Chain A
Amino acid sequence: MSRSASSDAKNPKEVVRLIGVAKEYGDVGALAPVDLSVMAGEAIVLVGHNGSGKSTLLSIIAGMLEPSEGTVLVHGQPPDSVYARERRSWLPDTPVLYDDLSVREHMEYTIRMHGGQGDEPIIDDLIKRLGLADREDDLPSQFSRGLRQKAAAAVALVRPFTLLLVDEPFVGLDVAGREALLGLLEEARRGGATVLVATHDPAVISRFKRGLVLDDGHVVHDGTAESLHAYLSADVTHGET
């Protein structure tokens, strides 16, 4: 049974549904009303300039932010429901880790919180893949930014999920770490998980089938990667005139 085989009873293929979702901070709009449907197994990249609303959108789907208006459904359930939390993994742009737990302890804890035993081989595999083997018993609070990012990625990937939300995952990573993380995202995708990645990295953009462009909180483009490129190319013509 695949981890990504999970689906909502009402609409077995729709993993994320946003209906008129908007977010405002005081008198500043961070996200204009957005409608979005993400089907199971999709790999989507979110692109846009700083402040365009990528992180806000992901945070809303992750249940970290509450929309000012609109409805968010993850597997047909509210994003803060236990059902949604069980199936959704979230790798934020800034690693959030306990100061007093080692990398391995974080992973054991996380996997146990999700019904595991804490001795699953995936822990060792992830530690090895992400190049944390020498540091697995060290505290992430003493790590560099890149190592903390790797540790956060390991914690996000060690647990079961059908939906993976990743916000700027490559900040601070060295080439090897970046390669490893991209490989892991790809494997998650191949396993059928739905993957949403917000990034500025052009190399990453090119690897996704579907791309969303956000601009000042508006989704200004939603289509295949090819259409994303065509869209961006076409705009050059307008932009240069």
Chain B
Amino acid sequence: MLQSTGIVNTREDSRFHISAHLCAGGTDSARAAWRSILKGLPDPTPPDISDTDPLGTDSSPSVDLNEAASAALADDAQNSVDQQTSAAAMDEMRSARRRRRIGDVAWGDLAYRVYTTALACLVFAVFASGWVGDSELSAASQTSAQKFGPVWAGLFAGLVLLLGVRSGTRAGPIALESADVYHLLLAPISRSRVLRRPAVGVVGYGVATGMAVGALVGSLCSQRLPGNTFEWMLSGALFGGAAAALSLGAALITASRRVPRPWIELLAWALLIASVVAVAGYSPFAPLTLLGQILFWPLSFSLLPLVLVALAMILAVVGLRIVGGLSIELAQRRTRLVGQLRFAVTQQDLRSVLLLRKQLASERPRNKSRFARLPIRFGGRFPVFTRDVQSFGRWPAVRVLRVTVLGLGAALCLYGAWSGTTPLVLLAGLCTYVAGLDVIEPLAQEVDHPMMLASYPEPAGVILQRHLVAPVFVMVLVGSEGLLLVWLLHPSVNIIAIGAITVITAATTAVAGASISVVSEAVLDAGDAAMMPPEVTGPRVVIRTLWPPLVAVIGVTPILVAQRAMRLGNDPIPPALTLAIPILVLAGIVFMWVKYREDLHRTMGEAMGAKT
């Protein structure tokens, strides 16, 4: 029975059922609900809204909506609202809100945050300084730095530029307040005017950050390379600021939609690829190498790079001028997601960060699976595995591509480590860890829906552990394509054997590391963290953040012992196999932890409760 305003509809007959057309599509439940609503429709001769007064407005004070607006829209041919008046209202309200926010600031908290940030920056600078060292490089190394430094700096600028353009395709870099999107971008006022101030803020902050980071890098360079520290810092700051301006300007222009996005993206990719080719030594020069030369001005000064600095500034200014072309649809989505993303970052909730990041990039699962349905009998026996396979079948192309590239990247890094660049194992481990985070999406979905998990007639831990099986298979596949690439680069039996061992260990530890990240609560939200002093919470946060990727890195270490044995003239396979065993045991312990984690927490909680 449905009750309407002033009219009680008790139509139990189904005279006003939903149409056969409506039944043709949509979900069954939606259609059923809609059908039940329509059962309550009143008589098929409804009163016209303009002919009736069913709402009892007689007793209410009347609002003359008509009169209130008459003057404003009198002139049909032109806009009747004065832009300056609206802009003044907007500026005044923004100022008032800012004053109110400042009034609400807890200055003690702010001072503490500034103090901790400054301290963290200082600690980072000291560590970086210590890591770089202060002995001057040899003449040969200096020549090498002079030759390759600008190329690498150009590659970095290319990456930053591409990130900016990618952000621009998603209405970045500005993230407006949700209410601003509705109340300002839908108001009759120039959107450029509305957006310029936040855009200037973003560009200003970005350029200042770029300059600060650049100055720090310049300072570090001055420790090993000849030249005045101040000069190095100045050139570093100019490089950092120009790279940031280039990236943010390109982002704003992309977001403004005045230039076709595919062209901008293509250009950014072309510049990056040119830098990659230059870094690989196949080309002596790339366009962004010119920008990189600024960083190394103390070694070799030239005015030519200033052209790119000017270009970066022009891009930023043009971007600020045309920012009004921003897509309101994308701005709305970005606003919502970036707000959540920031909160997730402050909570150090990696799972939420990844989820929101995917939403921001419009990375949605496919509507139709790539795979045929598994046989019913199989699904009945292995429901979790089947569910995981269904999830993989709905991966969007971009995720397939990302995981593939990460697998190939990890393989190339390990090949580099095998060839002598040992630190590349860290990068390889990180690649497998990131791929692992993608691959354990079904597990993450289960963790994200605890009510459903609790509704299954099996312990949650058992189900979570079963979700680890299919991801390991996928990671082995991902590793195998990397192994194939390495074999193509260096066909050798030893490479294949050691590679196969590493693929298995890396696949299991990548899944293990990723599962630790996903199954653990958000770091700052965990248990009794709030009761602990900062001296305990800080290291705890660091350990909990670093432990999962470290587990993944451990998985690729067999390559190191094999390489060491090879260098000593021994058979590399036995030491790799020997190390693989404890690594697999470690992964097994993590898998068991996933299964019994809840029980362990409960037991510990009960023990603590008994003590108190």
Contacts and interface: CB of A to CB of B under 8 A. Distances in A.
B190 interface: yes
Interface residues of A, number: 109
B364 A25 contact: yes
What size tier do the contact residues of chain B reach?
35 or more
A127 B415 CA distance: 71
B355 interface: no
Contact of A238 (B20, B37, B187, B190): B20
Interface in B55-73: 55-57, 60-66, 68-73
B100 A100 contact: yes
A40 to B, nearest CB: 11
A48 B22 contact: yes
Interface string B20-55: 111111110011011001101111111111101111
Contact of A182 (B55, B82, B188, B191): B55
A113 B86 contact: yes
Interface in A189-207: 189-193, 195, 200-207
A166 to B, nearest CB: 12
List 4 A-B pairs, minimum CB-CB distance, nearest first: A203-B4, A160-B69, A229-B44, A235-B19
A1 B182 CA distance: 28
A65 interface: yes
B578 interface: no
Interface of B: 2-7, 9, 14-27, 30-31, 33-34, 37-38, 40-50, 52-57, 60-66, 68-74, 76-83, 85-86, 89-90, 93, 97, 100-101, 177-179, 181-184, 186-191, 327-329, 332, 362, 364, 366-368, 396
A19 interface: no
A202 B37 CA distance: 7
A160 B72 contact: yes
B65 A193 contact: yes
What DSSP secondary structure best describes chain B's contact surface?
Answer: loop
Contact of B63 (A7, A12, A28, A125): A125
A233 B49 CA distance: 21
Given A49-B26, A100-B97, A122-B65, A183 B16 contact: no
Given A98-B177, A162-B73, A232 B17 contact: yes
B311 to A, nearest CB: 30
Nearest to A99: B179
Nearest to A90: B186
A215 B26 CA distance: 7
Contacts of B69: 3, 159-161
A3 B70 contact: yes
Nearest to A29: B367
A52 to B, nearest CB: 6
A36 interface: no
A1 B50 CA distance: 19
Given A28-B367, A239-B19, A2 B66 contact: yes
B364 A83 contact: no
A205 B73 contact: no
A22 to B, nearest CB: 14
